[in-house]
Amino acid sequence: MDIFYIVINLAVFAVLIGFLILLQGKHVSFSKRVFSALGLGILYGAVVNFIYGATSYVTAQSIDWFNIVGNGYVALLQMVVMPLVFISIVGTFTKLKITKNIGRISALVIGSLIGTVAVAALTGITYALAFGLDGIKLTSGAAEEARNKALQSSVESVQNMSFPQQIVSLLPANPFADLTGVRPTSTIAVVIFAAIIGIAYLGVKRKQPEQSELFARLVDTLYAVIIRMVRLILRLTPYGILALIARFTATSDYSAIVKLGKFVLASYAALITMFVIHLILISLLKLSPVIYVKKALPTLTFAFTSRSSAGTLPLNVETQTRRFGVPDGIANFAGSFGLTIGQNGCAGIYPAMLAIMAAPAAGVNPMSPSFILTLVLVVAVSSFGVAGVGGGATFASLIVLSILGFPVAIVGLLISVEPLIDMGRTALNVSDSMLAGILTSRVTGELDKTVYDQKSPDLQSAV
């Protein structure tokens, strides 16, 4: 009988996919199809959860089939992330207009990312204290104990490394291995490797211009091919979102979410506040925050549902260049560095909140000004190298708690609400990297404000 119900669930899912295909055939805008997929996924997943339960055999098997679309889409995006990051950073150096100002651009992008993650840490601290969050009151069940056991190897690897050793681990000792994403810090290692190649290119350009021209044409050709591949994959976005959000709502433990409701509310209050700060910074740049929200929303929606900053990179860059008027070089630079540095949600708000919650158990007053200042500095510095995929926040939290000498078991105690919070964190991370691109191009005078202000072509025209 279970097989029958599974077949029914798959049939309904196929109908929803068919509906999205129909919308595409009628040339409904990409943005509207994305939001349609989001709404349908929430509704359908909730129905499956209500009828069969989050942990039933029928739900598990149905979701396993849904994952062909959802996980398959994310896997395809992740497939192009490392090549795109690499070729984008190298391409930044081969574009003459950008290379004339590469030092200033680098400083502005990195400064923006680090500055906002420090503000994000303060925001997380504020809400953790305001909501009276305390890690001592958290209870541990079978799932939490299993989570902490699984994290043990990560904890040991972090605790066994000094802070200088952690910095060295960011370097690309084997760039070819890092291109496979073998380490949590692989993305920043690839960025560093690509930047070194770019610097070497500038030296060749001064002394051997003919060879540099050949290299630049090769990079431009590779970039064009990779971007075309990205655009082909982006066409699958509505279907991927449908499957991903349906899986989330179908498998969520709503009772556990209610149990940890105060932490969830505090987290989203901090995330929303930090997003408002992003909009304030947009206003200070004399740009419309309303336009920013409208144009960024489809990209932020995908980041929210996929929980992958790295997977959102192609859409991130397309949004910056086609909708905000950010030059290609700056957009790629900000998007790529935003995967590994200064992630406001995963590396800023979340580790700061956990540190405040863990402080009493370590005998530290969480309201001490000296402790808060130390925590902000630790969060800002340790935000380097956080992976832009699911699990990055866990890695960042382990580093921060280990540096402070706090118990790390608290990380595993929040497993039941981790996916829900991670959705908001990822969207904020992506918003921050787009903000870095806009801020940098605005300050350097390279932002095309006409493109920013006008009604941009829908993203589907880019794919």
Q: What is the mean pLDDT of residues 147-167?
A: 58
What pLDDT digit, counting tens, does each position of 171-192 carry? 888 888 888 777 767 777 888 8
Q: What is the mean pLDDT of residues 88-101?
A: 72
| Rounded Cα gap, residues 272 and 265, in angstroms | 10
Residue among 412, 71, 33, 18 at smallest CA distance from 247 = 71
Q: What is the mean pLDDT of residues 246-273?
A: 86
Q: What is the mean pLDDT of residues 58-83?
A: 88
Instruction: Please enumerate in sequence order all residues whose Cβ is within 8 A of that of 306, keeping only pairs 6 or more positions apart, or say none.
Output: 74, 77, 240, 241, 244, 312, 426
- Give the burial string for 74-111 (b: 16+ CB within 10 Å, else e): bebbbebbbbbbbbbbbbbbbbeebbebbeebeebbbe
| Rounded Cα gap, residues 224 and 87, in angstroms | 10
Please determine, for residue 388, whether its predicted confidence score (pLDDT) is greater than 60.
no
Decide: 411 and 394 in contact? Cβ < 8 Å. Answer: yes
| Rounded Cα gap, residues 276 and 18, in angstroms | 37
Give the pLDDT score at 462: 47
Please determine, for residue 393, whether its predicted confidence score (pLDDT) is greater than 80.
no
Residue among 60, 55, 46 at smallest CA distance from 5 = 60
| Rounded Cα gap, residues 48 and 8, in angstroms | 11
| Rounded Cα gap, residues 338 and 332, in angstroms | 10
pTM of the model: 0.81
| H helix runs in 285-368, sequence order | 289-306, 309-323, 328-337, 350-358
Q: Average pLDDT, whole number, for the chain?
A: 84
Pull the structure tokens for residue 392. 């990055």
Q: Is residue 393 exposed (0-12), middle (13-18) or buried (19+ Cβ within 10 Å)?
A: buried
Q: What is the mean pLDDT of residues 29-58?
A: 88
What pLDDT digit, counting tens, does each position of 294-338 carry? 999 988 988 887 778 877 888 898 899 989 999 888 888 898 888
Q: What is the mean pLDDT of residues 253-263?
A: 77
Please determine, for residue 124, whether its predicted confidence score (pLDDT) is greater than 90.
yes
Instruction: Please enumerate in sequence order all residues whose Cβ is within 8 A of that of 378, keeping only pairs 6 or more positions apart, or say none.
Output: 400, 403, 404
| Rounded Cα gap, residues 371 and 40, in angstroms | 46
| Rounded Cα gap, residues 447 and 431, in angstroms | 17
Give the pLDDT score at 20: 94
What pLDDT digit, counting tens, does each position of 260-303 carry? 788 889 999 999 999 999 999 999 999 999 999 999 998 898 88
Decide: 433 and 302 in contact? Cβ < 8 Å. Answer: no
Residue among 204, 178, 202 at smallest CA distance from 190 = 178
Please determine, for residue 168, whether its predicted confidence score (pLDDT) is greater than 80.
no
Least confident window among 81-85, 323-327, 342-346: 81-85
Topology, domain 98-234+253-462: Proton glutamate symport protein (1.10.3860)
Q: Is residue 293 exposed (0-12), middle (13-18) or buried (19+ Cβ within 10 Å)?
A: middle
* Domain definitions of the chain by residue range: 98-234+253-462
| Rounded Cα gap, residues 459 and 315, in angstroms | 9
